[in-house]
Each structure stands twice: as C-alpha cells, then as structure tokens.
Amino acid sequence: MKIEDEIKSTVELNLSKKIILNIMYTQNILSEKFNEVLKPYDLSGEQYNVLRILRGQKGNPANMCVIQERMIAKTSNTTRLVDKLLLKELVTRNVCPDNRRKIEVLITQKGLDVLSELDPKVIEHENALTSNLNTEELEQLNTLLEKYRNQQQHHEQVYRKPKLEIRNKEI
C-alpha cells in the first residue's frame, strides 16, 4: 500500500515527503513488531540494545559513555536504562577502581541467559520482516539506507550550531 493511502492523505505528496514519511512509518511498524518479541521478557528495545552492547564486551565492563556511543537511539537515557536492568538483575554496576567518577556496567549470567533465549526469536522475527524481499533487494535497500543515513550524519556534523556560553550558562 502506498504511504498516501496508509496515512489517508488527501493531498499529493512530493517525493521527498513520501520518502521521509515512508521511513518514519516503517520504523514505527518495525518498533511495534520488535516490542512484541521483547514484551514477554519485560524489556524495551533500548534495554535490549544495552544488553547486546554489554554482551559484545565479552566479559569486560563498559562505562556509561561507551554504552551511550553504541546505542541505536542516541537520545536514550542510559543511566535510567541501566537502573531498570539492574532492578531485573540483568546487569551489575560498580565504581571504576581507576577512576571513581566512572561507573562500569557488566552483564550478569541472567542477562546472558535472557539474550540466549531471545536470539532465535529475534532472528526469526527479522527473517519474517524481510521475507517479502529477495537477497538482491535486501542488499539494495541496505545500501540505500546506509547512503541516506551517512548523508544525514554528515549534514548534522557540518551544520551543527555551536553552543554559546554566557557566564557559564548555555543559550
């Protein structure tokens, strides 16, 4: 179904608007479907992302900055996410012995077990969501999305406005 039909638009949309709406609408569908997979585990997509990052550390702790840098959603509140995972006993949090201002986070065995249980379900979910595209189409879509994302990141770096400080206050 065309994006105009999905959102019941009564006006003709230009191609740029169609693309942006398509990306946003599709991302929303993907998030909703992924949340259905995570719901039985009482995890959000962002919490799952933190667990995956920590598993990738292969037994080494990660500080909050490392976790934040690797998050898919860069605006996530990492401290709040780690606090929730801590309550579920999926991670531990300790003060860094070398720098007492840094907090180190480590995935627990329980966290690893949850991910091991989720792994086949996530793979099945991803395969189901892409089953209507052949390999060539998947590669083409991936290439186009990477090209689009890389341009947006470049644009953000070039046009980012510097923060002005007056008497130690941001404007």
More confident call, 100 vs 86: 86
131 pLDDT above the threshold of 90: yes
Whole-number pLDDT of residue 159: 63
Whole-number pLDDT of residue 75: 78
> Would you state the structure tokens that stand for residue 24, as one six-digit string?
């946003």
> Would you state the structure tokens that stand for residue 164, as one six-digit string?
């002005």
Whole-number pLDDT of residue 170: 53
Q: What percentage of the chain reaches a pLDDT higher than 70?
A: 89
Whole-number pLDDT of residue 162: 58
More confident call, 17 vs 167: 17
Q: What percentage of the chain reaches a pLDDT higher than 90?
A: 67
Residues 95 and 109: beta-carbon distance below 8 Å: no
In DSSP notation, the chain reads --HHHHTT--SPPPHHHHHHHHHHHHHHHHHHHHHHHHGGGT--HHHHHHHHHHHTTTT--EEHHHHHHH-SSTT--HHHHHHHHHHTTSEEEEE-SS-TT-EEEEE-HHHHHHHHHHHHHHHHHHHHHTTTS-HHHHHHHHHHHHHHHHHHHHHHHHHPPPPPEETTEE-
158 pLDDT above the threshold of 90: no
Closest by alpha carbon to 72, among 48, 91, 55?
A: 48
Mean pLDDT, the chain, whole residue set? 89
> What is the pTM (predicted TM-score) of this model?
0.82
CATH, range 42-108: 1.10.10.10
pLDDT band for position 164 (50/70/90)? low
27 pLDDT above the threshold of 60: yes
92 pLDDT above the threshold of 80: yes
* CA–CA separation, 152 and 147 (whole Å): 9
The whole-number average pLDDT for the span 13-41 is 93
